[in-house]
Structure 1
Amino acid sequence: MFAQRARKALTACRLSLAAILIAVSTSHAMADAGFQRWIAEFRQVALQNGISPATYDRAFRGVTAPDPEVLEKARYQPEFRAAPWEYFDNRVNELTVANGRRMAQQLRPWLDRIESQFGVSRYILLAIWSMESNYGEILKNEKVMRSVPRSLATLAYGDPKRAKFARTQLLAALKILQTGDIDVGHLSGSWAGAMGHTQFIPTSYQAYAVDMDRDGRRDIWNSVPDALATAANLLRKNGWRSSETWGYEVVLPEGRKFPSGSMPLNKWASIGVVRANGKPFPRGGDNAELKVPDGRAGPAFLMTKNFFVLKRYNNADTYALAVGLLADAIAGHGGLVRDWNRPFERLSMTETQELQQRLGALGYYSGPVDGKIGSGSRDAIRAFQQRLGVAPDGHPSKDVLRRLRGQ
């Protein structure tokens, strides 16, 4: 009797599982059919906007379903907001500086020409290249790079918040394909359609792309000169001032409040704001705005015109400041006089990689050993700290590394 009941239960379970699988399969097929219908309908929109039938069909040949990873990334909203020290430590460090200096040597003739033509500092361009694609390394990662037409069609079809943006960018991407600057097999980008070494969205590519190497194509995917010249062109056309800095690290007098907004550097100096390195401001009439990204306990900066031009590339203070600091470091101008207000003693890049390796060896961490501290590294540190019975703050500190070395 028991065996009979067991067989009936197993049969019922199998039937239930089969029903679930059929339902999932049916839902997936319907989604694919809907996506294919969207592609077919958008074809007419593309043709009305000057895209040839051959270009459109070439772009979507073999594309039968949306990219699920694109929708997943579009939905994901990270809960953790990086502290200033973490954001900058991951982007301005020994490795990014050393790689920038190496690239400055390798590309010196091209950088000479780009700097002469566009008036933008080579070090700023190298810093942008580092920030956007890790000097092109990201383009080699097949898990990150994906088909731009498929990604943008996925967003236009499956993400109502980004649908308008994605449709506009998709039309621009198709026009790029139609010009012959890149073939469909290499028209790759991030999940949101940012492309090439310097991560341009299609409409920005159309506005600023440059054929620097004069091979007849504006190829920001394979030609570093084209990519860096394109970034320089964007900055120049948005008001970059040649031979001027992005801003100055400053020291603020204690116990004083400061006005918001912009005023001349001479005016800032008159109320007690001085450069951190002790030198005078070279152009006292330049307007500048005070920024304290880590509060009064961290470094302070007076930002001039070029800082705000950098924000036309990415409209975030932290991004523009990281580009400026990294550019200065690559150029050999030294680091901050007043460091970020970290609640721990900082590790070097080599030490951070060692920390990740040791956490991995103990089974706490399975991510890349790249010296960059993200959520995976923080979670691993917390788990290790909890095992030791210490406060699980997740900080990549020298104390954590010392404890790991003792295991």
Structure 2
Amino acid sequence: MLFLGGRCLARFLPALAIAGALSLSAMAPAWANSADFVRGLWPQAEARGVSRAAFEAAFSGYNYLPKVMELTRKQPEFSQTVQQYIDKRVTAGQAQKGQAMRAEWNQTLTGSEQRWGVQPEIVLAIWGMETNFGGFMGGENTIHALATLTEGGYRADFFREELLTALRIVSDGHVSARNMTGSWAGAMGHTQFMPSSFMRYAVDYNGDGRKDIWNSVQDALGSTANYLHSFGWRKGETWGYEVKLPSGFDFAAARGIEKAPLSQWQAMGIQRVSGRAFPRPSDVGRLYMPAGANGPTFLLLPNFDVIKRYNNSDSYALAVGHLADRILGGGNFATPWPAGDYALTKAQRAELQTLLSRAGFDAGSPDGVVGPRTRAAVLAYQGRVGLPADGHISGRLLDALKR
């Protein structure tokens, strides 16, 4: 299941697999009015064990929320480089705030690490990424937002399931309907659980009989550690290493390797930027070059993929890992990001495909969708002009083609 960031909506929508804006007619309520919708929902809620009193309280004052549906039609195209994404979220100020929170909640974090094996700095980094350490957890009534999405027909099956689950959470007494707030898409609490994730992974860490991720930092942090543990967090291991490539690195050979033991990568000349040895050469990692060969490069370990179960984005997981390292007292990446780079819009990707084809490198139809044909054209172009054949597509490559 997924978690959603309550603050940065464009970031988490790909993880929900929301394909884009639906037509206005498709989003129109299928019921004559909201009262009919609520009446029709009751038998399903009752079958889930929701009490009538909780149901009535949850829908008290409910009206269909046009502003929520409007947000589903305003999904901007994601056009940030990984550098821009991280620079916005991982700052010295955030690291200092995380260190302060570590001191304040040390007993809870230490206890949760002993119980679930997840390092405190990782839990803190997720908390910081999701809600700025509880600074902004979303202001929508979760029941009413989920009801609107369901009533409006926007991924209705998915959001109906989340709505019914949210009703059960209220009925079970973990939080009142009035205090169940979050993002317009239903993400809730300090670390932004969807209702279904709450039901599977939330814990009553402080032992008061309720799983309260809205008002209990202890419950929220414990629940986050439990979530990561449930998806296979490897105790005592990090998320990955920043590395440096040797001169003349064989990019073609690297492209043929999805994952390999660190010892194999080391045999290809890859070393940690710190100069220290890999503590466990048998660990399996994958090579990640978010800005191509001229930017920071990483070997990512299994815990990186566990972070992605929170949000299925390499940018997100790298930001969490980097913020965690900064909370521990580490510095910025050793290798600087390439200057003047920028992410391409779909129109710019289509322009790049057109320019590649004009230069004699068949990139296929200029549709703005980067597939194997476009990637092969990029590699051929890079090899022809003497650039590192890393296959990285960005503004710098487009600018080079324009010259």
Q: Normalising TM by the smaller chain, what interval?
A: 0.7 to 0.9
Inter-partner Cα distance in structure 2 for 1:229 and 1:153: 29
Q: Whose helix fraction is larger, Structure 1's or Structure 2's?
A: 1
Aligned mates of 1:177, 1:56 — CA distance in 2: 8
Say whether 1:292 aligns with 2:285: no
Contact 2:31-2:37 at 8 Å conserved across structures: no
Q: Which residue of 1 aligns with 2:150?
A: 156
Q: Is the aligned partner of 1:190 residue 2:183?
A: yes
Q: Distance in 2 between matches of 1:233 and 1:275?
A: 30
2:68 alignment partner AA: V
Could you tell me which residue of structure 2 aligns to residue 231 of structure 1?
224
Q: Give the secondary structure class of the aligned counterpart of 1:288.
A: strand
Q: What runs of 5+ residues in structure 2 fail to find an aligned partner?
A: 1-28, 342-403
Structure 1 length-normalised TM: 0.73
- Find the counterpart in structure 2 of residue 49 from structure 1: 48
Which of 143, 159, 162 in structure 2 is aligned with 1:169? 162
Residue 88 (structure 2) aligns with: 90
Matched-pair contact (CA < 8 Å) for 1:85–1:341: no
The secondary structure found in structure 2 opposite 1:185 is: coil
TM-score, with structure 2 as normaliser: 0.74
Secondary structure of 2:212 counterpart: coil
Asked if the contact 1:84/1:340 (under 8 Å) is kept, the reply is no
Moved more, 41-50 or 262-271: 41-50
C-alpha distance in structure 1 between counterparts of 2:41 and 2:31, whole Å:
15
Distance 1:86 1:217 in 2: 39
Partner residue, 1:348: none
2:31, 2:100 → 1: CA distance? 47
Of 252-261 and 308-317, the range deviating more from structure 2: 252-261
Residue 117 of structure 1 corresponds to 115
- Give the Cα–Cα distance (whole angstroms) in 2 for the partners of residues 174 and 340 of structure 1: 46
Separation in structure 2 between the aligned mates of residue 239 and residue 31 of structure 1, nearest angstrom: 41
Q: 5 Å matches for 1:8-407?
A: 34-63=33-62, 65-139=63-137, 144-160=138-154, 162-255=155-248, 256-257=250-251, 258=254, 259-343=256-340
Query: Are the equivalent residues in 1 in contact too, given 2:241–2:298 (CA < 8 A)?
Result: yes
CA contact (8 A) 1:71 1:159 kept: no
Secondary structure (helix, strand or coil) at the match of 1:253 reads coil
Q: Residue 391 of structure 2 aligns with which residue?
A: none
Retained in 2: the 8 A contact 1:32–1:66?
no
Would the aligned equivalents of 2:90 and 2:322 in 1 still touch at CA under 8 Å?
A: yes
Q: Which one has a bigger Cα radius of gyration?
A: 1
Deviation of 1:135 (Å) = 0.4
Change in Cα spacing, 1:260 to 1:69, as seen in structure 2 (3 Å) is farther
Q: Please state whether the residue corresponding to 1:215 is helix, strand or coil.
A: coil
User: Is this contact kept in 2: 1:85–1:342, CA < 8 A?
Assistant: no
Structure 2 CA distance for partners of 1:34 and 1:260, relative to 1, 3 Å = farther
- Runs of 4 or more, structure 1, over 3 Å off, are 30-33
Paired residue secondary structure (1:334): coil
- Label 1:217 to 1:263 Cα distance change in 2 as closer, same or farther (>3 A): same
Aligned-CA RMSD value: 1.6
Q: Give the Cα separation in 2 of the matches to 1:254 and 1:177.
A: 59
SS of 2:312's equivalent in the other structure is coil
Aligned identity (percent) is: 44
Shift of 1:204: 0.3
**Separation in 2, partners of 1:36, 1:290:** 54
Higher relative contact order (CA 8 A, sep 6+): 2
Deviations 1:211-236, CA, capped at 9 Å, x for gaps = 11111111000011110100000000
Displacement of 1:33 in angstroms is 5.0
The 1-side partners of 2:130 and 2:117 are apart by 21
Shift of 1:254: 3.5
Structure 1: stretches of 5+ with no match in the other structure: 1-29, 345-407
